Structure 1
Amino acid sequence: MHFDLKKDILPHVLGILVFYLIVLFYFSPAVFDGKIIFQYDILQWEGAAKEILDHRAETGEEALWTNRLFGGMPAYLVSFEVPGDITNFITKILTPGLPHPINSLFFGMIAMYILLLSFKVRPAFSVAAAIAFAFNTFHIISLDAGHNAKIWAICLIPLILAGIHLAFDGKKILGLALFAFGLLLQLKFNHLQITYYTVIIVLIYGLGRMLQSIRENGLPDFGKTMAILLIGLLIAVGGNLSRFLTVLEYGKYSTRGTTNLSSQEASQDGLDKDYAFNWSQGKLETLTLLVPNLYGPGSTKPFPKDPETERVLRSNNIDVAQVKDNIDYARKYWGDQPGTGGPIYGSAIMLFLFVLGILYAPKPYKGVFIAIALTGIILAWGKNLQGLNYFLFDYLPGYNKFRAVTMALSMSLFAIPLLGALGLEYLFRGQEEKQAIKSLGIAFGLTGGLALLFWLFAGAFSLRAPFDDNFPEWLVEALKEDRKAILKASAIKSFLLILAAAALIWAAVTQKIQTSILGIGLAILVTFDLWFINKLFLQEDDFQNNPSEQFFAKTPADESILRDQDYFRVLNINNPFNDARTSYYFNSVGGYHGAKIKRYQELIENALNPEIQDFIAKAQEGDFNWLGLNILNMLNTKYIMAGRAENAVFVNPEANGPAWFPQEIIPVQSNDEEMETLRNTDTKTKATVNDNEFSRVNSGSGMVTLSNYSPSKLEYEVQAEKGGLLVFSEIYYPKGWVATVNDQEVAIIRVNYLLRGIEVPDGNSTVKMSFEPGSYYNTKALVVIFQYLSVLLLLGSIVLTLRKSKGNGEA
């Protein structure tokens, strides 16, 4: 098999080397010093996953349930592995020497490079577009926050589309293999919102190909390609079947599912609109794609030296140090969102090339990628385009399960460099020089000209933020001056970058430089642009030797509670339902997770939060009303933690314990009635059971002890003076939990709105509860089979393609 080293191999090797070096040196503290990015969300995940990770390390088994957060919940969306899963090994092989999660950006560059090659864009032009796609600010800000799975899922989109495009372009086996492999990995990272956006991208592309097939009388071949890609879909889903089915099963019972209370305003299936659309991008804010600091550099980023605000404060004899934090927060971001880590930006040069793509790319591709870019922008506007986006939220299948709609801009950040590279490629395919220069001028005028207008008329923006209402007008005017300075500096930078890119392209069009030099120049400009703006969001200080060691260092309060070896839960009253640090050491009433069990969320809103607030108010007056903690007691909350000091730990003597016999069973007819009854019921002596869902049960009496515990298996010794209902301080989940009494399976009923209960006979008995979901156990072997099939298919297709290329005399 003969290859021309200079033409067929060297450009790709150099391109991949450039990608590797960018990641290597930008993230040098992680690569060379072994430091880790301080990612708040990842630290929260580590706290939530601690019990699962420890169980896996100690036993080699999966803990499919964890009791460390929100009283207990399935582990599927916390930490989940399938024995024999090879996807982690694959990602390490494909990103040699680069640690997780920064290896995602390297792979994203390669994936976009492959996609552009599949569209026959020359390597010299593909490199710059690949850098812009993977190295954009959205990814860097997401890395800083700890949204690692999201970045990986986005970076796999180009590989998925490359497979689809190659399949439609005649390379069906290679296309099938790439599509199946890319989707297999994306589903592995289990970020369903990005997969949803991927589906939208694929549907838009597929619609474009279908229309083209209709025009060219090629529908039969379109149908064959679709059938082949369906095989790839089955392989990818098969390789993630356990993940897919468990999450699908859990979705109905999570906060993404239908409410159980008719009294709830958000009675529809899915999330509440206000929650889902809280982070919606302003319409003009979309122009941060061109001028990144149009609305400021983000809520938490540094401000220029010697700002006007500080000068004005000093002139009014105000100590700057005393108000610095408030002033800094106020002047950094002035857009429509509650706050932001930074602007969404993928280089102004790419927006300039995107306009060239509109002018030059082939019509079928042009329409497809314009549509994808616009769709991402419109969805990201969220509540700022209520008529359309609320309609989609209500009627588009599955769309109401997702929040943070600004994430839809990942579609735009994918389409813009892709169409830009296509435009650049077709500009140099036989276009006469005069027309090319004219088109270049149009693209420059629309993008560089707009950036220049922002620089000239920066003062025309309101430059006011909601926070400004807290300040006197003289201070607001100073803040506005600082904001204008930031906007102007950003606008002129974008103008100069576009000017430099346009000059390079003009030089290549007029044959003053080679297109390879143009490609190198554009890659350098894009890297320079994104490197320095990204440094605002991920700096040297964000890398630490061991952030988790510091974050989870035991406090005196932790040490105090850890001396107790009993089974109980802890309530940390400091922001309990957005904190997983407590979960690192203890079974927690609270936690940190975006998809709690729906019934638990309803309990928090309707009973638990009011109970906690009432308790705190009375405790501050010296009245520790432990008997009034009906909900916390039934959750076996033995400790309440109010701070880090040892004397900030309070022992609840009235916690119900792991299990108990209620003296009275209160029948209820609905979830609403049960919730209301529960709030005013002594849960130690009484229990509610919904008669419409479960058979009548009798009360019993006796003693219960928890004799053996693991996350997914609990064993109790029961001494029943009188057989009857036994209530457990464990969260009810209808799929997977199996209970036995003396090795005979018995039904689990829901008690007290969300606890488990069973009936036990008179006398001594052993009760076992184990979590054995069929969605996992019935599919885990298939997962491994399909994963190996995907890898073998990819390797085989590459060999077949190379042989075919040799036979045809192709490169």
Structure 2
Amino acid sequence: MKFDLKADVLPHFLAISSFYLIVVLYFSPIVFDGKMMFQSDILQWEGSAKELLDYRESTGEEALWTNRMFGGMPAYLIHLAPKGDITNTLIKVLTLGLPHPISALFFGMVSMYLLLLCFKVRSVIALLGAWAFSFNTFNFLSLEAGHNAKIWAVCIVPLLLAGVHLAFTNKKLLGVVLTGLAVLLQLKFNHLQITYYTLLLVIVYGIGQLVIAYKQQKLPAFAKVTGMLLLAAVIGVMGHAARLSSVLEYGKYSIRGERNLPAVNQNDTGLDKDYAFNWSNGKLETFTLLIPNYFGGASQDAIPKNSASEKALRANGVDNAQVNQFINGAPTYWGDQPFTGGPMYGGAVMIFLFVLGIIFAPPLYRNVFLSMTLLTLMLSWGKNLAWFNYTVFDYFPGYNKFRAVSMALGMTLFVIPLFGAIGLENVLSKSGEKGTKKSFLIGTGITLGLIVLGIIFASWAGYQSSAPNSGYPDWLMAALKSDRKSMLVSDAMRSGIFIVISAVLIGLVLYNKLKINYAVIGIGALLLIDLWGVNSRYLDKDSFSDNPSEQHFAATPADNKISADKDYFRVLNIQNPFNDARTSYRFNSIGGYHGAKMSRYNDLIDRILGTEINNFVKKAQEGNFDYEGIQTLNMLNTKYLMAGRAENAVFLNPEANGPAWFPESIEGTKTNEEEIEALAKVNTKLTATYNAQDNENQSISTGKGDISLSSYSPDALSYKVSVEKSGLAVFSEIYYPKGWKAFIDGQETPILRVNYLLRGLMLPEGEHQVEMRFEPTAYYRWELLSVIVQYLVVLSLLFAVFKNLIIKQDSTI
């Protein structure tokens, strides 16, 4: 087969080279100096996963359970690298060895470039769209926060839509295989909320294809392609069947599943609406797509010297140090969200091109991509469009498992550069047609008009959120609003300048004064300057350091004191127990950091632990360390309480129940509500609570004896027991019915749920060896098949590429 090097190879080589070069240049401290970003969520993950990583390093095996967080939870919710999984290697190859997580941005550019080529966009314009997609502030703010899985999931969306589009446009084999590959890769990162949004976009695209098929009387062909794509998606899912089946199984028992306790004005399953919609984008906040500082940027941001706020502070005699502190972290954000790291900015140039797409693109694309844009914006508005989003939350299958709905803007920022590049392609391809110049001027006027409209709306809103900053005097609030206005107007003018220059470049092409490629390169340069400048406000060279985790997890005197104890126990970090995983780095922790805690554990936090901890702290401050008053902490074997990093901030709890014990009495209950109320009142060392109905009405009795832990690994525990009187033994381990198995001298025995969320066993008289092993059936059932499917997907991809690019078969496959 003959290639025209200049036409068939060189443009794509230059495009991919530019993607690689841009990522390397922006993140040069990572690539060349080995530095890392301070990503708060990744540090939380590192603390959560430390036991699992250490176990793998020491044994070469994967642990499926960890005791480091919230008393214990499945490991596949935190970290899992199954043997034989080739997706890591595949991604390393596809991203040319770029380090994680910045490799996602490179992959996103390549996949968007491929998608735009599938839509017949010339390579130089596809290049521009690819840059805009990966370099929007959504991705960079997510990087800064450590939301690496989210970025990867978004950056795979163009590859998936490319596969779907190819399948519907006479490249069935390649399209189907790419779809299967994209599903496989996206699900690897286990960000099911982004996958859900992706599915919604594919459905919108599919409706567009259905309309075409209906008009052309090709519904059977549509059904055939749809069936093939569904099969490809199923195959992609099967590549992670072991993990996904286990995660879905766990969902029922997590805070995103069914409720154990009745709650007023809350749905029976899924997340609470207030929690799910807490991060809802304001309708006016949508203007940040066009004007980055429309709502003041980040929650706390530096304001310029001699700002209105600084002048007001100095005029009112505020201390110089306090003035500097305020202006270096002023509350500039005035939107609806609790806080934000910065705006969701898509680039003024790309918004301009998007408007041109509305005017110039074919009706099918216009309808499909406008529908995608409107849908994702409406989803991002959350509680600010309650009639729509509460309906979706209540009736769309699985949607009530997700939170932070402003995340849908990541999908908006996928559609905007896609349709913007298509818009530019159509403008330039129609440069000689009648009416093009007039329509182009109308589009330019509309975009600039949106900037003016945004300024007017902001003035009406008064530059103040619906929840005003408390504690600020009127004179400071007035100055702060003046600064917010200045930030908005300054960025509005900035966006206007970029739009005008871009419009001039396109206008020169339409009037035959400039070649298309030169104009597009100029627009691309403007786009990069624009996005690079805004991104550097939030992720610059100061964001990189040698090794953030070394400093974050450096052993403190408190850590060293607890580490000297080699017994088996848990630790409570009183300072921030349930939103920090630093304690989990070294110790089995009562707390942790995770968005899908076990439901029963969350009930315990809400109904007992929170109050118990607060009461203990209050008494301790008065000099009374009431260890008998923390009975639920005692039953969780909380041997140490930590109130700081100094050695004297560690408190030994002499009342911790230990790994296991025989209660002297059993209090029967009939409902979860009864049981948790009873648990709050009993001495957990002496009395166990028991719900017979939840334990299949198994009869139990009290026993007597001694139990000691003889060996430990994250998902396997062994005990030596000496039983004087047969009866119930309570173990300070979290009860989870889907995987934990118990064996007495090698014979399996049922695990009972006692004390609302602990494990219990009926032990016979005599000397015995008791083992508990975590062996989730759902995981092991699909483990081998998952690996086989991954290899089949890769082999299918190689075959499809060979057939389409090497053999150059006829376009109708």
Is the Cα contact below 8 Å between 1:124 and 1:515 reproduced in 2? no
Is the Cα contact below 8 Å between 1:285 and 1:294 reproduced in 2? yes
Q: Aligned partners of 1:748, 1:757: CA distance in 2, in Å?
A: 6
Is 1:523 the counterpart of 2:524 in the alignment?
A: yes
* Aligned match of 1:773: 776
CA drift at 1:432: 3.3
CA gap of 1:451–1:392, structure 2 versus 1, over 3 A, is: same
How many residues are aligned here? 810
Letter in 1 for 2:542: D
RMSD: 1.6
Deviations, residues 759-806 of structure 1 (Å, cap 9, x unaligned): 110011000000000111111111111111111111110111124536
Deviations, residues 697-730 of structure 1 (Å, cap 9, x unaligned): 0110111000000000000000011111111000
CA drift at 1:808: 7.4
Letter in 2 for 1:476: M
* Aligned match of 1:699: 702
Deviations, residues 20-69 of structure 1 (Å, cap 9, x unaligned): 11100000100110100000000010000000111111111111000000
Single out whichever of 453-462 and 418-427 deviates more from structure 2.
Answer: 453-462
- After TM superposition, the structure 1 = structure 2 runs for residues 250-289 of structure 1, keeping only pairs within 5 Å, are 250-263=250-263, 265-289=265-289
- After TM superposition, the structure 1 = structure 2 runs for residues 410-559 of structure 1, keeping only pairs within 5 Å, are 410-452=410-452, 454=454, 459-465=459-465, 466-559=467-560
* Aligned match of 1:343: 343
Is the Cα contact below 8 Å between 1:259 and 1:266 reproduced in 2? no
Q: Aligned partners of 2:412, 2:751: CA distance in 1, in Å?
A: 48
Is 1:615 the counterpart of 2:616 in the alignment?
A: yes
Letter in 1 for 2:620: A
Deviations, residues 563-582 of structure 1 (Å, cap 9, x unaligned): 00000000000110001000
Q: Aligned partners of 1:225, 1:464: CA distance in 2, in Å?
A: 51
* Aligned match of 2:93: 93
* Aligned match of 1:407: 407
SS at match of 1:294: coil
Single out whichever of 170-179 and 419-428 deviates more from structure 2.
Answer: 419-428
Q: Aligned partners of 2:812, 2:289: CA distance in 1, in Å?
A: 43
CA drift at 1:693: 2.0
* Aligned match of 2:638: 637
Q: Aligned partners of 1:748, 1:809: CA distance in 2, in Å?
A: 59
CA drift at 1:518: 2.1
Gapped regions of structure 1 (runs ≥ 5): none
* Aligned match of 1:793: 796
Is the Cα contact below 8 Å between 2:332 and 2:480 reproduced in 1? no
Deviations, residues 653-699 of structure 1 (Å, cap 9, x unaligned): 00000000001111110000000000000000110110212212011
Deviations, residues 553-610 of structure 1 (Å, cap 9, x unaligned): 0000000000000000000001100010000000000000000000000010001111
SS at match of 2:306: coil
Q: Select 2:754's aligned residue among 751, 754, 769.
A: 751
* Aligned match of 1:47: 47
* Aligned match of 2:740: 737
SS at match of 2:489: helix
Letter in 1 for 2:104: S
CA gap of 1:809–1:576, structure 2 versus 1, over 3 A, is: closer
Is the Cα contact below 8 Å between 2:280 and 2:381 reproduced in 1? yes
Q: Aligned partners of 1:232, 1:358: CA distance in 2, in Å?
A: 32
Q: Aligned partners of 1:203, 1:476: CA distance in 2, in Å?
A: 47
Letter in 2 for 1:725: L
Q: Aligned partners of 2:180, 2:459: CA distance in 1, in Å?
A: 51
Letter in 1 for 2:803: L
Is the Cα contact below 8 Å between 1:263 and 1:672 reproduced in 2? no
- After TM superposition, the structure 1 = structure 2 runs for residues 389-400 of structure 1, keeping only pairs within 5 Å, are 389-400=389-400
Q: Aligned partners of 1:401, 1:456: CA distance in 2, in Å?
A: 38
- After TM superposition, the structure 1 = structure 2 runs for residues 64-79 of structure 1, keeping only pairs within 5 Å, are 64-79=64-79
- After TM superposition, the structure 1 = structure 2 runs for residues 232-243 of structure 1, keeping only pairs within 5 Å, are 232-243=232-243
* Aligned match of 2:564: 563
* Aligned match of 2:358: 358
SS at match of 1:768: strand
Single out whichever of 22-31 and 297-306 deviates more from structure 2.
Answer: 297-306
CA gap of 1:394–1:806, structure 2 versus 1, over 3 A, is: closer
Q: Aligned partners of 1:414, 1:194: CA distance in 2, in Å?
A: 12
* Aligned match of 1:309: 309
CA drift at 1:146: 0.2
CA gap of 1:808–1:696, structure 2 versus 1, over 3 A, is: closer
So what's the TM-score if we normalise by structure 2?
A: 0.98
Single out whichever of 75-84 and 429-438 deviates more from structure 2.
Answer: 429-438
Q: Aligned partners of 1:755, 1:555: CA distance in 2, in Å?
A: 31
Letter in 2 for 1:48: S
Q: Aligned partners of 1:515, 1:110: CA distance in 2, in Å?
A: 22
CA drift at 1:625: 1.1
Is the Cα contact below 8 Å between 1:392 and 1:399 reproduced in 2? yes
* Aligned match of 2:32: 32
Gapped regions of structure 2 (runs ≥ 5): none
CA drift at 1:263: 4.5
Letter in 2 for 1:782: L
CA gap of 1:460–1:669, structure 2 versus 1, over 3 A, is: closer
CA gap of 1:732–1:118, structure 2 versus 1, over 3 A, is: same
CA drift at 1:475: 1.2
Is 1:713 the counterpart of 2:716 in the alignment?
A: yes
CA drift at 1:460: 4.6
Is 1:802 the counterpart of 2:794 in the alignment?
A: no
Letter in 2 for 1:719: S
* Aligned match of 2:606: 605
CA drift at 1:5: 1.0
Letter in 2 for 1:623: N
CA drift at 1:311: 1.3
Q: Aligned partners of 1:138, 1:777: CA distance in 2, in Å?
A: 37
Deviations, residues 335-355 of structure 1 (Å, cap 9, x unaligned): 111111000011011111111
Is the Cα contact below 8 Å between 2:310 and 2:323 reproduced in 1? no
Is the Cα contact below 8 Å between 1:749 and 1:756 reproduced in 2? yes
CA drift at 1:324: 4.6
Q: Aligned partners of 1:263, 1:398: CA distance in 2, in Å?
A: 20
CA drift at 1:652: 0.3
SS at match of 1:689: strand
Q: Aligned partners of 1:188, 1:485: CA distance in 2, in Å?
A: 44
Is the Cα contact below 8 Å between 1:742 and 1:767 reproduced in 2? yes
Deviations, residues 143-177 of structure 1 (Å, cap 9, x unaligned): 00000000000000000000000000010000011
Is the Cα contact below 8 Å between 1:72 and 1:731 reproduced in 2? yes
Letter in 2 for 1:26: Y
CA drift at 1:454: 4.8
Q: Aligned partners of 1:431, 1:323: CA distance in 2, in Å?
A: 55
SS at match of 2:99: coil
Is the Cα contact below 8 Å between 2:66 and 2:75 reproduced in 1? yes
Single out whichever of 434-443 and 786-795 deviates more from structure 2.
Answer: 434-443
SS at match of 1:443: helix
